[in-house]
Chains A and B, each alone.
Chain A
Amino acid sequence: MTSRTLFGTPVSDPLKSKDGARVIAGVDVGGTFTDLVIVDQHRRAISVLKTPTTAADPSMGVVKALAEGSVPVHEIDLIIHGTTATTNALLQRRLAKIGMITTAGFRDVIELGRRTRPQAYGLFGSYVPLVPRNLRLEVDERTLADGSIRNAVDIDQVIDAAETLKEAGCEALVIHFLHSYKNPKNEEAALEAAATVWPNNYITAGHRLLSEPREFERGVTASVNAAVEPVLERYINRLRVALHQSGYARDYLVMAGNGGTTSSAHVSREAAKTVMSGPASGVIAAAYTASEAGLGNIITYDMGGTSTDVALVRGSKPLVSNEIALEYGMPIHLPMVDVHTVGAGGGSIAHIDEAGLLRIGPQSAGSDPGPIFYGRGGDRPTISDANLLLGRLNSKRLPAFDDAVDVDAVAAAIMRDVGDGLDLDAAAAAEAILHVANLKMAGAIRMVSVAKGHDPRDFTLFAFGGAGPLHAAAIARELAIPRVLVPALPGLTNALGCAVADLRHDFVTGLNLPVANLDEAHVEAVLQTHVDTGRRMLEAEAVELRGVTVEHSADMQFVGQTHLINVPLPTGGIDRQVLQELFEDAYFARFQVRLPNVEANLVALNSSLIGLRSKPDVTALNLSADHADRVEGALLDQRPVHFGGRWMDTPIYDRARLPLDAVVDGPAIFEQLDTTTVVTPDDRAFGDGLGNIVIEIGQAGHE
């Protein structure tokens, strides 16, 4: 990144946060709420806060949350920020106007794509490229597949093209040449030339972001980066100024989609890496919390109002994928936490389809108008309405909306849209809605676990988000997952993830060689380069680190295959024989197939350098709470709740008052500010002493 000067505060030692920052603030901006977690190690206190997101300028909401926090802003040592700025900009196409300079003959690569259609069935739909065709200009240059240069880049043409795009009003520029991943010389020369006339630093060269073949995917990834870079940088700078004014003068960190954090001074250069920042921080917090509780293998289950995110964490490490697509035709081939999203949440609408079958979604009432009981004009029954009718949600303890609708109105709507068609009464219809909804979530979890060779019985379901703990026990039973973990503050998981995330840089180098022909010394050298570069980048960050861990893995396949299996590499020397065996074992674990006489291919080497931050002590999350001595002391109420076809008198507990070592048999309900946890009959919930609730799923079958 030598040719670029950075915007904003230069990074220098005096601004580094204090060794082992003592007061850490994690701030996550979501669609509806801005969440703040402040971990104050001086006072051994954690404070949390939820304020409405200020959609027009989210930095206002961040500053407001901090101002209302328990610690004066100037006493905060480090702020870590999770943002949806780039994701929202992409989904709503509120992007910078960008231009592209590309290889002659290939300007349409990012518009043509890979010969696809949006759905397998139905010939409808459209695709609009991120760079309009008239702003994609071609120059004479050509690098061949082996890296040799057939035509050196015509610098005059590059400068002319840059001038033209500048005059057309483009704010950011993409330079995307064929085979630049193999030899970046032409692309680098074009970058240098364009920089002489381009009015700012917003120039993305494809190979710098993603040094891998596949011209469509690399071109789109680079275009995504260019289109969000100015948007993110403006936001980052606005927030920096606002923080400065409120008394925080240090650098802050931003959460990236790979589950690591990056200095705010560097982050917008590789803005595309912050797509998925929000879901990633949730998974990081889940991995951390579960690991503290002694659970390394979890499936995260984050259910909100309109969608549900699931991800797999093995050995306390979230799985990372390089092949996320944000939407049709928008692949972003950068390492990101592998989060699988289903379009179903508390607001999803239940209805009977033309064949007379019960369906959930895809329509959603979202948060506006929201479920019927919000009383904001919603009149179609949602998953949340079903939870209310069955007594799982407390109609008296819901957010105070002006014209809250009573349970009878909810029951009437459920009868009209579901019950009458299925010949069920309102409670049975509501239970059917939950059953079908849970099945849909279970399907998503199967796709990240069973379908990838992981047995759910080896995992704990980690439930969070506003609606996750309502459904988790039933879903765990559906999938034979033995237990559920509900953290202390399920609604603030993302903000907590910010507070505990490490710094992280990922590297990928393509090799594409049969293992038998591998030069072991070369492999070592590649990995060493990753390590050296990563260490330099970590040292440049404005945070003192407790240490650095290095993880290496190889993307492998049998010679002749195209799909890859990621194989973690042992530390120490790389041995061809060992590589072949590691791969064969991984392949067997995935497909139960052995192919003893087929040779393995090493496609790419991956390294992750993780800069370890001193972890705040989150057990303080519970110390401040007002726990009762005995379970009975947390009892709020008894009310009928519908389980398995009948109403059962169910105790309702105040989660904040529950003893840390409570043991409660289902059925039971725990209410807290940000969520409701349902313990179904036959299950047993107990406090793990750290503030989490673990629900052991009983064996008895029941719906």
Chain B
Amino acid sequence: MSKQVSPIDPVTLTVIQAGLEQICDEMDLTFSRAAFSPIIAEADDRSDGIYAARDGALIAQGIHGLPVFVGTMQASTATIIKMIAEGRCLPPEDGDIYAVNDPYLGGTHLMDVRFAMPFYRKGKIACWLSNVGHWPDIGGAVPGGFSASATAVEQEGLRFPPIKLFKRDELDTELLAVIFSNIRVPEQRIGDIKAQYAALKVGAERLHTLFDRYGDDVVHAAIAEVRSRAAKQMRAAIATIPEGVWRGEAFIDSDGIVDEPLRIALAVERTADRRLVFDFAGSSPPCAGPMNCVLATTHSAVYLAMRHIFPEIPLSAGAFEPMEIADPFGTFLDARYPRPVSGCAAEVSQRIAESVFSALVKAIPDKVTAAPAGTSGNFALGGDDPSVGRDYVMYQISGGGYGGYAGGDGLTNGCSTIGISKSPPIEISEQVFPVLFHRYALREGSGGAGRARGGFGVDYEVELLRGNAQASFVMDHGRFGPQGALGGSDGAPGTIHVNRGGHVFQPPHITKAQDIPLTAGDRVAVQTPGGGGYGPAFERPSEAVAADVALGYYTVEQARDLFGVVLDRTSGKVRVDETDALRRHAQSAA
């Protein structure tokens, strides 16, 4: 690109930016609607975007992509570009599509397979179109890839560097055969691969139209301009954060192998020149189990946390420029081969985001919430159903409470921070799998007390009706509840109870377990975390507490003990004098 870029008029700029965003949205839509795996089609565990030819920097990415991919896609595309330049993979031609799932090459975990396609204009690569989809299986020790006891990446599944899965628009059937020989239920994957391919093709067609219409120079100038403006916008947002060092932390229950918590320590420095420096020094060293996080995902988690705080800033590499993430070398947030990493996308990323929230809620309390439940709540049940003579794997994901915030109480049963995936309907799960739900309820009392209370978690119990099965869990926030902020209480921690032959027990690692054998009649009960409370609970208006009790969210005792509000047992009304006395007493004791 020439250096003498003529200043582009702001209207054309807006037009081109909107055009690029619409192309990404359309790619997202095509991918989901054409996909076979529910994890892509229903849960939208995928993302599509446009990336710079030179360095893979993010140009535009669909708003409906899974948030955890905010920063990983540019890292992945950048790695491919670098490997091509270094001669480590075959040079690109028009119509080629590279596929890669190596987590250490700018990825997340093995199940997230990235496709990258060079986009040619006049014989030269003008940019890259890339997408990522979560494949339901990638081989390895357990169906689905979330092995809670893996100690090396080889146990987690098939790993491949950038390979040309499509050569000049032709699917390489030999490579496909190798992949299919290494994964479970391969028959349906061809539909997903074609969906992922169709999305890139739709993107390329639309992008050609855009380039043809405005001219290549103008589009490139607009891309550069959008990037510099997003950087400006992020700097303006950072300027609202008071200068200084803000500290936060977050804990992961365990790595699934060694039963002790992993700590994320974060110091965020707001510098005088309006940058943020994120330093994870002091975090735990790499762990034996699959809770290690590859660098691209660590970066992405910081970016997505910032995007939750400043959602109005467009998705562009420019927005990342004023943010520096100090190399977390030597910690579990910089996983190197062969550390197992299956838990990094779903769980560690959410704890990293929580550490960002916990640091910045002190600095900009109007912009940040107390901690959300922040776990994907994965419960996988694999077995065979004797009535249909077929193996199955059921994934039950669950939400939890969000944190209270300056403007209101936290949301109940919110989605994971890094996701946008809906949980499956009970009626559909019961149709497809040999299970019976006994309860799917709001978990009373789980929202952390505060001036604005946390949202509530979920409380469900499910019974295996037929055959044998294995239950596996990858959840978190079982040892510690989501953090309250500014004097608010923590949300309730999550629990898992397994009832096997009438004997009820909790998994040793609380929220992580693999292959607990179940037989017909056994049950699993899960309670998911509530959100953290925001501000002192004794400042919550007493009428709001009375309303919560009327709805059964808290008991009369909890109203008194947690919120300092005394209610009449029969009428449910606030006893004003006693409440005032109790709250005054608490204040003077403090």
Q: Given A126-B409, A593-B195, A595-B191, is A422 in contact with B431 using a C-beta cutoff of 8 Å?
A: no
Residue from A105, A144, A354, A446 within 8 A of B438 (CB atoms): A105
CB distance from B44 to the nearest CB of A (A): 9
B388-407 CB mask vs A (1 if < 8 Å, else 0) is: 00000000011100110101
A125 and B190 contact, Cβ closer than 8 Å, known pairs A446-B26, A561-B35: no
Give residues 162-188 of B contacting A (CB, 8 Å): 188
Given contacts A562-B41, A590-B34, 20 further A-B contacts (CB under 8 A): A109-B426, A112-B442, A120-B63, A120-B67, A121-B308, A122-B311, A123-B308, A123-B403, A213-B427, A214-B428, A356-B10, A356-B229, A357-B17, A358-B14, A436-B11, A560-B36, A560-B191, A563-B35, A591-B194, A593-B194
Q: Does any Cβ of B come within 8 Å of A31's Cβ? A: no
Total residues of chain A contacting the partner, CB 8 A: 64
Contacts of A108 in B (CB 8 A): 440-442
The answer to whether A213 touches B431, judged by C-beta atoms less than 8 angstroms apart, is: yes
B439: interface (CB < 8 Å): yes
B233 at the interface (CB under 8 A from A): yes
The proximity string for A residues 429-464 relative to B, scoring 1 for CB distances below 8 Å and 0 otherwise, is: 000100110011001001100110000000000000
Q: Which of B286-294, B412-420, B556-564 has 4 or more CB atoms under 8 Å from chain A? A: B412-420
Nearest B-chain residue to A565, judged by Cβ: B33
Hey, which chain B residues are within 8 Å of A116, CB to CB?
A: 399, 414-415, 420, 422
| CB-CB contacts below 8 Å: A80-132 with B | 105-109, 111-127, 132
Residues of B within 8 A of A126 (CB): 408-409, 411
Cross-chain contact of B232 among A122, A217, A355 (Cβ < 8 A): A355
Q: Which parts of B421-471 form the interface with A (CB within 8 Å)?
A: 421-423, 425-428, 430-431, 436-442, 458
How many whole Å from A158's CB to the nearest CB in chain B? 20
A358 touching B10, Cβ below 8 Å: yes
Indicate if B550 sits at the interface (CB-CB under 8 A). Answer: yes
User: Shortest distance in angstroms between B531's beta carbon and chain A's nearest beta carbon?
Assistant: 9
Return chain A residues, CB-CB under 8 Å to B378: none
Q: Verify if B298 is at the interface (C-beta below 8 Å from A).
A: no
A577 within 8 A of B: no
Our pick among B18, B372, B413 for the contact of A115 (Cβ within 8 Å) is: B413
Question: If the complex has contacts A105-B438, A105-B439, A113-B413, are A591 and B552 also in contact, measured as CB distance less than 8 A?
Answer: no
A134, CB-defined interface residue at 8 Å: yes
Is B407 touching A124 in the complex (CB atoms < 8 A)? yes
Q: How far is the CA of A675 from the CA of B537 in the complex (A)?
A: 56
Contact A439 B440 (CB under 8 A): no
Q: Tell whether B148 is near chain A: CB-to-CB under 8 Å.
A: no
In the complex, whether A558 has a CB less than 8 A from a CB of chain B is: yes
Which residues from chain B contact A119 at a C-beta distance below 8 Å? 311
B22 within 8 A of A: yes
Given contacts A115-B399, A355-B314, contact A120 B420 (CB under 8 A): yes
A443 touches B430 (CB 8 A): no
A133 at interface (Cβ–Cβ under 8 A)?
Answer: yes
Residues facing B in A210-239 (CB within 8 A) are 213-217
Q: Does B236 reach chain A (CB closer than 8 Å)?
A: yes
Closest partner residue, chain B, to A112 (CB atom): B413
- Write the chain A residue with the least CB distance to B309: A122
- Closest residue of chain A to B442, judged by CB? A108
Q: Are A435 and B191 in contact, CB atoms less than 8 angstroms apart? A: no
Which 6 A-B residue pairs are closest in the complex by CB-CB distance? Answer: A115-B399, A121-B311, A145-B430, A105-B439, A114-B422, A355-B229
Residues of B within 8 A of A106 (CB): 426, 437, 439-441
Please give the distance in Å from B377's CB to the nearest CB on chain A: 8
Residues in B whose Cβ lies below 8 Å from that of A435: 11, 15
Query: Chain B interface (Cβ within 8 Å of chain A)?
Result: 10-11, 13-15, 17-18, 22, 25-26, 29-30, 32-38, 41-42, 63-64, 67, 188, 190-191, 194-195, 197-198, 201, 229-230, 232-233, 236-237, 304, 307-308, 311-314, 369, 372, 397-399, 402-403, 405, 407-409, 411-415, 417, 420-423, 425-428, 430-431, 436-442, 458, 550-553
Distance between Cα atoms of A590 and B29 in the complex (Å) = 12
A-B contact pairs, 17 of them (CB 8 A): A106-B439, A106-B440, A115-B415, A116-B414, A123-B369, A123-B405, A124-B407, A126-B408, A126-B409, A213-B428, A353-B312, A355-B313, A355-B314, A357-B14, A436-B11, A593-B195, A598-B190
Closest-CB distance, A510 to chain B (whole angstroms): 10
Contact between A115 and B414, CB atoms less than 8 A apart: yes
Question: Which of A120, A124, A355 is packed against the most chain B CB atoms within 10 Å?
Answer: A355
- What B residues does A471 contact at CB under 8 A? none
Can you name the residue of chain A whose Cβ is closest to the Cβ of B408?
Answer: A126
Whether the pair A562, B38 counts as a contact (CB closer than 8 A) is: yes
CA distance A113 to B400 in the complex (A): 12
- A117-B415, A134-B550 known; A214+B423 contact, CB < 8 A: no
Complex CA–CA separation, A636 to B23 (angstroms): 44
| Inter-subunit contact B63/A591 (CB<8 Å) | no
**Which chain A residue has the least Cβ–Cβ distance from B528?**
A115
**Shortest beta-carbon distance from A421 to chain B in Å:** 8
Quick one: given A435-B11, A436-B11, A562-B38, are A450 and B431 in contact (CB under 8 Å)? no
What B residues does A179 contact at CB under 8 A?
427, 430
Q: Are B551 and A134 in contact (CB under 8 A)?
A: yes
Cα A440 to Cα B18 with chains together (Å): 8
Interfacial chain B residues near A357, Cβ < 8 Å? 10, 13-14, 17, 229
Give chain B residues whose Cβ lies under 8 Å from the Cβ of A432. 10-11
> Closest residue to A429 on the B side, CB-wise?
B11
- Chain A residue numbers with a CB within 8 Å of B407 are 124
Whether, in the assembled complex, A592 has its beta carbon less than 8 Å from a beta carbon of chain B, the answer is: yes
For residue A313, CB closer than 8 A to chain B, the reply is no
Tell me if A443 and B551 are in contact (CB < 8 A).
no
- On chain B, the residues within 8 Å of A332 by CB distance are none
| Contact between A105 and B441, CB atoms less than 8 A apart | yes
Cα distance A440–B415 when bound, in Å? 29
Kindly report which residue of chain A lies nearest to residue B28, judged by CB atoms: A451
**Chain A nearest CB, measured from B8 CB (Å):** 11
Kindly report which residue of chain A lies nearest to residue B374, judged by CB atoms: A123
Residues on A with beta carbons closer than 8 Å to the beta carbon of B22: 443, 446
Does A498 reach chain B (CB closer than 8 Å)?
A: no
Residue in B closest to A359 when the chains form the complex, CB atoms: B14
Q: Are A133 and B442 in contact (CB under 8 A)?
A: yes
Residue A286 at the chain B interface, CB threshold 8 Å: no
Q: Is A178 at the interface (CB under 8 A from chain B)?
A: yes
Nearest opposing residue in chain A for B572, CB measure: A134
- The minimal Cβ–Cβ distance linking B35 to chain A, given in whole angstroms, is 7
- Do A355 and B440 contact each other (CB < 8 Å), given the known contacts A114-B425, A115-B399, A558-B36? no
**Which residues of chain B are within 8 angstroms of A181 by Cβ–Cβ distance?**
427
A352 to chain B, nearest CB (A): 9
Of residues 122 through 181 on chain A, the ones whose CB sits less than 8 Å from some CB of chain B are 122-127, 132-134, 144-145, 178-179, 181
CB pair B442–A115 under 8 Å, yes or no, is no
Q: Tell me the complex Cα distance, A357–B15, Å.
A: 10
Of all chain A residues, the one with the shortest Cβ separation from B194 is A593
How far is B403's CA from A122's CA once the two chains are assembled, in angstroms?
12
Q: Knowing A108-B441, A354-B236, A562-B42, say if A178 contacts B10 (CB, 8 Å).
A: no
CB B187 to nearest CB in A, in angstroms, measures 8
From A122, A447, A591, contact of B33 by CB (8 A): A591
Q: Please tell me if the beta carbons of A595 and B190 are within 8 angstroms of each other in the complex.
A: yes
- For A558, the chain B residues whose CB sits under 8 A away are 36, 191
For B307, the chain A residues whose CB sits under 8 A away are: 121
Tell me which residues across on chain A come within 8 A of B430, comparing CB atoms: 144-145, 179
- Interface contact A117-B402, CB-CB below 8 Å: yes
Give chain B residues whose Cβ lies under 8 Å from the Cβ of A355. 229-230, 232-233, 313-314
Q: Which residue of A lies closest to B314 (CB)?
A: A355
Check if B41 sits within 8 Å of A115, measured CB to CB.
no
The residue in chain A whose Cβ has the minimal distance to the Cβ of B353 is A123
Contact of B11 among A105, A358, A592 (CB under 8 A): A358
Nearest CB in chain B: distance from A700 CB, A: 14
List residues of chain A with CB within 8 A of the CB of B308: 121-123
Please, how many angstroms separate the alpha-carbon atoms of A398 and B63 in the complex?
Answer: 40
In the bound complex, residues from chain B placing their C-beta under 8 Å from that of A356 are 10, 229, 232
Cβ–Cβ contact B191 & A121, under 8 A: no
